[in-house]
Amino acid sequence: MFENVGTLVPIMLIFLILIFAFKNKINIFSSFLNGASEGLSCIISILPIMVALVTSVEMMKSSGLVNIMTNLFSPITSTFNFPPECIPLVIMKPISGSGSNAILYSLLQKYGSESRIGEIASMISCSSEAIIYIVSTYCGAVRIKDTKKIIVYSTISFIFSVVCASFIC
């Protein structure tokens, strides 16, 4: 009975949109073109931010900065019983979602999802967000200039998620 739900839902949604538009006398094609135009202008406005962010993440990975920072923070985290293998994830997660997903994937492959490292890495990944990416993309798209409080509160939330992951797992 539910095998075709995935096929029927988009068709029903399109049908409901057409009924709503017809009932309210909305020109669908004109509305679509206006939305596409707004989306394109949004993409153009955030493109420089995205290029800079992707470039900086790749430079961090290629230069070995993540490994240097891991070695630097390893003695500190070991006193709190936090696995040093998760440090690259903690470093990368606030910067890049896809970069941190790649680190999470490699940790899960190497240590397994039921290991302490796998559980901590999964919890950090699922309970936090790519702060720099989100702030630069969304605040840049709506032209918010003063992002200090957003970054501070997001960073506090991120640190809290890392601490909770360490204690819970």
DSSP 29-76: HHHHHHHHHHHHHHHHHHHHHHHHHHHHHHHHHHHTHHHHHHHHHHHH
12 in a structural domain = no
| Rounded Cα distance, 105 and 113, in Å | 10
8 in a structural domain = no
48 in a structural domain = yes
Q: How many domains does the chain have?
A: 1
10 in a structural domain = no
Q: Which pLDDT tens digit goes with each residue over 19-66?
A: 998 999 888 889 889 989 988 887 887 788 778 777 877 787 788 888
| Rounded Cα distance, 8 and 114, in Å | 37
Residue 95 structural domain: 43-168
Residue 1, pLDDT above cutoff 70: no
98 in a structural domain = yes
69 in a structural domain = yes
35 in a structural domain = no
Long-range contacts: 156-162, Cβ < 8 Å, 24+? 157/128, 158/93, 158/94, 158/128, 158/129, 158/131, 161/123, 161/124, 161/127, 161/128, 162/82, 162/90, 162/124, 162/128
138 in a structural domain = yes
pTM passes above 0.75: no
Token code pair at residue 89? 């994830």
- Exposed (0-12), middle (13-18) or buried (19+): which is 114, by Cβ within 10 Å? exposed
